[in-house]
Structure 1
Amino acid sequence: MLVLAMIERLGIIVTVAFLLTRLPFFRRLFDSQSKIDNKQRILLVIVFGCFGIIGTYTGIIVNPIEDSMDRWTRVLNDDEAIANSRVLGVVVAGLLGGWRIGVGAGLIAGIHRMTLGGFTGIACGVATIIAGILAVIISKKQKKNRIISPQAAFIVGASAEAVQMLIILGVARPFERSVALVEEIGLPMILANGIGTALFVLIIKSVIQEEERMGAVQSQKALRIANLTLTHMRKGLTPVSAAEVCAILYKEIPSLAVAITDRKKILSHIGSGLDHHGAGEEIRTEATRYVIESGQGVTVGKDSIQCMDPDCMLQAAVIAPLKRKDQTIGTLKVYFSSERAISPIMLELINGLTTLLSHQLEIADGEKHRELARESEIRMLQAQVSPHFLFNALNTIVSLIRTNPDHARKLLISLSAFFRQNLAGTTRKVSTLSEEIDHVKSYLSIEEARFYDRLDVLYEIEDAALSASVPPLTLQPLVENAVKHGLKAKSEEGRLIVRAFRDRDRIRIEVEDNGEGIEKTRIESLLESAVTSEKGTGIGLYNLNERLIKIIGEQSKLTIQSAEKKGTIVSFSVPYPNEEFAKGVM
C-alpha cells in the first residue's frame, strides 16, 4: 500500500523535471562549454531546495505505533514520521550541479525537515544533507559522462535513502520506534526514491537528446545549404547569384517565399507573391531599410511587410542582414503565413544562414582580389619578356645602320611589328599556337641579321595543333633562349626546330637546338629562380615556367632535356581539346 502511494507521488516529480528543463539557466548544467555564475548557482540551490521541500510536503505521515498513515504532511507529533521523496531533489542537485548546489539544496531541505518535528526530525535533516554530499561524490566519478545514466541515478537515489534509514536507526529515539518505522517505510522509500531519481534523470536526458538531434538536423541542413550556395555566392551579390541562392533556400526552408535584396532593390524573389514582389523593384518597406542601416535582423508581421495586395499570403517575415566586412550590403527575407509559424529554431536557422552567406560573400571578395593580384602578376611577368629581347635587337640594328642602312630600316619595321604584337600579347589572356608561331617568325627575321646563313629554322607543326590555345608570349622566349644561349657560339650549321604535335589528350610544344647544351646541375636552377646571366637578363625561362603553372597548371610546366655539346629540347604541353582553358582565362 505504501509503495503504491509513494509511486503515485512520482507524477509530481515528472512535472517538476519537465518544468526545469524549460529554464535556460538550468540547461547550462548539461553544457560543458557553459559556466554558471554565482547568481545562477544560488538560484539553482533555491530551486532544488524547494523541490526537496515539495517532496517533504507531498509525503505520507506514518505513525509506527498506531500503524496509521496520513496522505498530506503537516506539523508532526513526537511519535510521527514522514515517508517522502525529499532526498530525490537533493540527490539530483548533487548529481547535476556539483557540491555547492548539492550541499546547498540539502541544507535548505534538511533544515526545513527539522522544523516539522517528529522523533526522526534531526535524523532526517542530517540524512538529507549527507545525501547531497553522497551524490556529489558519485557525480565526480562520472566525469566522462555529461549526464549520469538512469541506472546509475537509480542506484544513487536508492543508496541515499538507504543511508537515511541507517541514520534514523542510529540517531532517532526510542530505538524500538525507529526499528518499527524503518521496517514499515524503509523498502518503499528506497524503491520510490531510486525510481524517482532515475525517472528525473531520464526525462532530462530525453529532452537534451531530442534537442541535440534537432540541432544535428539543422546543422546538417545548414552544411548542405552552404555546399549548394557556395558556388553561386563566389560570384558576389548579383541578380543571377541571388536567384540561384533564393531557389536553393526556398527548397530547403519550409516557407512561403524567399527574397534577397541589395541596399536599394530586390535582386530576386522566389515563391508566393512573385506577381507583386518581383525582382528589380525598389525596396519599399521601412523594416528592410532599418535592417540595412542598423545591421540588426528583425521579425515582422503583416503591417510591416506593407503589401498593398489584400490577397497576399505573405503575412510575416524574418529579415536578416547580409554583411561583408561588417558593412551591410543587402538582406535575406524569408516569408511565412503568420508570425506563429516562425519558431525559435527556424529563427536561429535563418540567422545562421545569413552569417554563412555573409562569410561566403567575404570569401568571394577575397578571391576577386586574389584573382586581380594573380592577373597583375602575370601581366608583369609578360612585360618582362620585352626588355629581354629589346637589348639584342637594338644592338643588331645599331651595327647595321652604317654597313647596310636599308636592311637596318627593314629590321626597324620588323621590330615595330614585333613589339606591336608583343604589346597586344600583354593585354590578351589567351592566344593560339598559330599566332605564337607568327610572333616567332617576326622575331627570327631580326635574329637572322646576326646569324646570316649560320641559322637553319625548321617548323614541324601538326595542323591540329595550330588552333590550340596557349598563354600569350610563351613560344618566343623559348626560341630566344635557344638562339641566344644555345646557338650563339655555333660557327656554322646552327639548327633550330619548332615542333607541335598531339600527345594523347594534350598538345606538346618543343623548341630544339643543336647548340652548346646545359649542364645537368644548372637545369633545375633555371626553373626554380631567376638566375644571373652574363648574356642577358636571366629571367626568361623562370618567368615563362611561372606563367604556365599559374595560368594552366602544374602539368604544363616546362621540361628541359639537354646534353653538353649536343643541344637542348625545352618543351611544355597544354590540354587538348582545351576550350575549357580558353574560356577559363577569357
Structure 2
Amino acid sequence: MHYSADMMFHWLDNTAQLSQRVCVVLIAAHVLIRMEWLRQALRGDPQYWRNRLICSTFFGVFAIIGTHSGFLLDVHQVGKRIAWPADLSDTLKHTQAVIGFRDLMVLAAGLSGGPWVGFGAGLFAGWERYLLGGFAGSASAFSTVIQGLWAGYAFSWRPCWATGMRGAAFIALTGTILQKLILLLWVQPYVDAQTLVLETAMPVAVVNTLGVLLFLFVMQDLERDRLRNQAQQAELRALNAQIEPHFMNNTLNAIKALIRRDPEAASQYVVKLARFLDDTRRSVGANSISLQQELAQVERYLAFQGLRFPETFQFQRNISPQPLHCQLPPRCLQTLAENALLHGMQGLTRPLKIDIIGVDHGLTLTLRVSDNGNGIPAPRLSELGKRPVDSVNGNGSALYHLRQSFNLAFPRQSTLTVNSWEGHGTEVILTIPKRSTPW
C-alpha cells in the first residue's frame, strides 16, 4: 500500500512537471510555425523531399529539446532527482534513464507529415538519445523511430485520425504502449525494465496524449489561417476579374465611332481589347503576375482611354528591364492608373500626365504612380486605403482592396503611401520585396 501511494505521488509529480515544460515548448513551436517558410513546408505537399526535410528537422529539433527538457531517474533509486551532466557531451550512467516528451514531438511529426516525416524526426531524435547512453538508451532510440513511423502510417491510412481528437488521442496512447512494450521486451534485467515502465507509463501517456491534442489545436489554427487567406485571395481575384461595365461600353462605342474614320486602326483596337480581356481572364486564377505583364495591361487600358479622350492625357513609364520579371498582385498598377483618370482628370483644364516609375533597390522594388491632376482633399486623403470611403465616382474601395492584396502577398513587408497636393496632383508609392516566382 505504501509502495502504491509513493508510485501515485511520483506519477502526479512527474506529470505536473512534464506538463509545464511541454506547454513552454509548444508555445515556442507555435510562434515558429507563424514563419511563412515553415508554414508552407507544414502545409505543402509531403511528397516533396524539401518539405519532408524541413518538417523532419523542425520536429526532430523539438524532440531533442523534449529529451533535455525532461529529468533523469535512476532505476535503483526511484523518486530521487538527478541533475543532468554539466557537459552535454557526457553520457548517462548505466542505471540512469530519461523521462521527457521526445516521443510527443515525434508522434506530432508523423501526424503532421506522414511516415517519412515521422521517420525522419524519430531517427534524428532517436540517434541523439542513443548517443546519450544510460539505461534503455538503445531501446528508447529504437522506439522513438517506431513511434514516428506508427503515427505517420496512421495518418496515411486514416487521415481523419490526424484531425480528430479521438483519433489523435488513440494514436498517442498506442504509441506510448508500443514504447513501453519495446522496453519490456528489449531491456535487461527485466526487473529494472519493469521498474522504469511502472514509473514512467502514466506520466508519459498523459503528457503524450494531452500534448498531441494541444499540437492538433495549433495545426488547426494554422489551417484556419490558411483557409481564411485563401478566401480573401479568392475574393480579391474575383474583384480583379471584374471589368467595369462603363469602361466596356465606352470602349466599344469609341471603337464603333473609329470604324467610320479609320477601319484599320479600329481593327487594331479590337485585337487589343481581345488581348486585354484574355489576360484579365487568365489573371482570375492567379495570385500574382509579372511586372511586365501588369505594365502591358496598363498600357492597353490607357490606350482605350486615349481613344475616348484624345490629347487629354499623357502616359510615360520609366522602369529598367531588370525588375520586369518581379511578381506582384494583378491589376495593382492598373487600379492606380484608373484612379488617376477617374479622379484626377475630372474638370481639369490642362492635359493629365501619368507617370509610372520603378526603382530597383536590390532586395526591394519601389513603384511610383503619379499624376498632375486635381489632387485629394486632406480629410479624404487620411482615410484612403484604410477602409472603403464614399466617392462621387465610385465606392472608394480600390485602394483599400489594393492594400489588402499587398498585405496578403507580402505580410509586414510592403508599404503603400499616398501623397497628394490639392490642385497639383497625387502620387502613390508601392514598396514590395522582389520575388521572381509566382505564389
TM-score interval (norm. to shorter): 0.5 to 0.7
Cα separation, partners in 2 of 1:414 and 1:394, compared to 1, 3 Å: farther
SS of the residue 1:384 aligns to: helix
Q: Does the alignment pair 1:448 with 2:328?
A: no
Paired position in structure 2 for 1:358: 213
- Correspondent of 1:369 among 224, 240, 243: 224
* Alpha-carbon offset, residue 378 of structure 1: 2.5
Distance 1:283 1:323 in 2: 9
Which digits, 9 at most, give the CA deviation of each residue in 1:240-278, with x for residues without a partner?
Answer: 4478636753774449x9574669x9563435559x969
Paired position in structure 1 for 2:275: 417
Q: Does the alignment pair 1:496 with 2:354?
A: yes
* Map 1:50-449 → 2, pairs under 5 A: 217-219=17-19, 221-223=21-23, 225-226=25-26, 230=30, 235=42, 240=52, 241=55, 245=59, 248-249=62-63, 252-253=66-67, 254=98, 260=107, 268-269=118-119, 270=122, 271=126, 324-329=163-168, 331-332=171-172, 333-334=175-176, 335=179, 336-338=182-184, 339-387=194-242, 389-404=244-259, 406=263, 407-449=265-307
- Report sequence identity in percent: 17
- Correspondent of 1:559 among 390, 394, 417: 417
* Alpha-carbon offset, residue 524 of structure 1: 2.2
Distance 2:243 2:391 in 1: 11
Distance 1:543 1:502 in 2: 25
Paired position in structure 2 for 1:548: 406
| Structure 1 alignment gaps of length 5 or more | 1-15, 28-206, 294-320
- Correspondent of 1:485 among 326, 339, 343: 343
Cα separation, partners in 2 of 1:348 and 1:280, compared to 1, 3 Å: closer
Tell me, yes or no, if the aligned pair for 1:425 and 1:472 is still in contact at 8 Å.
yes
TM-score, normalising length: structure 2:
0.65
Cα separation, partners in 2 of 1:410 and 1:500, compared to 1, 3 Å: same
Given residue 22 of structure 2, which amino acid in structure 1 is its aligned partner?
Answer: A
Tell me, yes or no, if the aligned pair for 2:370 and 2:427 is still in contact at 8 Å.
yes
TM-score, normalising length: structure 1:
0.50
Paired position in structure 2 for 1:93: none
Tell me, yes or no, if the aligned pair for 1:501 and 1:507 is still in contact at 8 Å.
yes
Paired position in structure 2 for 1:155: none
Tell me, yes or no, if the aligned pair for 2:236 and 2:401 is still in contact at 8 Å.
yes
Distance 2:332 2:321 in 1: 19
Distance 2:431 2:218 in 1: 32
Cα separation, partners in 2 of 1:507 and 1:377, compared to 1, 3 Å: same
Cα separation, partners in 2 of 1:485 and 1:220, compared to 1, 3 Å: same
Distance 1:442 1:398 in 2: 16
- Over alpha carbons, which structure has the higher Rg? 1
Given residue 451 of structure 1, which amino acid in structure 2 is its aligned partner?
Answer: F
Which digits, 9 at most, give the CA deviation of each residue in 1:117-157, with x for residues without a partner?
Answer: xxxxxxxxxxxxxxxxxxxxxxxxxxxxxxxxxxxxxxxxx
Distance 1:529 1:244 in 2: 39
Distance 2:18 2:111 in 1: 27
SS of the residue 2:325 aligns to: coil
* Alpha-carbon offset, residue 377 of structure 1: 1.7
Given residue 232 of structure 2, which amino acid in structure 1 is its aligned partner?
Answer: E
After superposing on structure 2, the runs of 4+ consecutive aligned residues of structure 1 that deviate more than 4 Å are 18-21, 214-217, 227-234, 236-239, 241-244, 257-263, 271-274, 276-284
Distance 1:363 1:20 in 2: 37
Paired position in structure 2 for 1:571: 429
Which digits, 9 at most, give the CA deviation of each residue in 1:483-515, with x for residues without a partner?
Answer: 221124334432110011135853211111111
Tell me, yes or no, if the aligned pair for 1:229 and 1:245 is still in contact at 8 Å.
no
Tell me, yes or no, if the aligned pair for 1:389 and 1:480 is still in contact at 8 Å.
no
Tell me, yes or no, if the aligned pair for 2:420 and 2:427 is still in contact at 8 Å.
yes
Cα separation, partners in 2 of 1:533 and 1:414, compared to 1, 3 Å: farther
* Alpha-carbon offset, residue 559 of structure 1: 1.4
Distance 2:150 2:411 in 1: 44
Distance 1:477 1:435 in 2: 14
| Structure 2 alignment gaps of length 5 or more | 68-97, 127-140, 185-193
Once superposed, what is the RMSD of the aligned Cα atoms? 4.4
* Bigger RCO (CA 8 Å, 6+ sep): 2
SS of the residue 1:553 aligns to: coil
Distance 2:66 2:273 in 1: 62
* Map 1:455-466 → 2, pairs under 5 A: 455-466=313-324
Distance 2:363 2:206 in 1: 48
SS of the residue 1:510 aligns to: strand
Tell me, yes or no, if the aligned pair for 1:266 and 1:278 is still in contact at 8 Å.
no
Given residue 18 of structure 2, which amino acid in structure 1 is its aligned partner?
Answer: Q
Tell me, yes or no, if the aligned pair for 1:517 and 1:565 is still in contact at 8 Å.
yes
Distance 1:555 1:250 in 2: 33
Which digits, 9 at most, give the CA deviation of each residue in 1:280-320, with x for residues without a partner?
Answer: 78999xxx99xx99xxxxxxxxxxxxxxxxxxxxxxxxxxx
Given residue 209 of structure 2, which amino acid in structure 1 is its aligned partner?
Answer: T
Cα separation, partners in 2 of 1:537 and 1:398, compared to 1, 3 Å: farther
Cα separation, partners in 2 of 1:523 and 1:554, compared to 1, 3 Å: farther
Distance 2:64 2:362 in 1: 45
SS of the residue 2:315 aligns to: strand
* Alpha-carbon offset, residue 530 of structure 1: 2.0
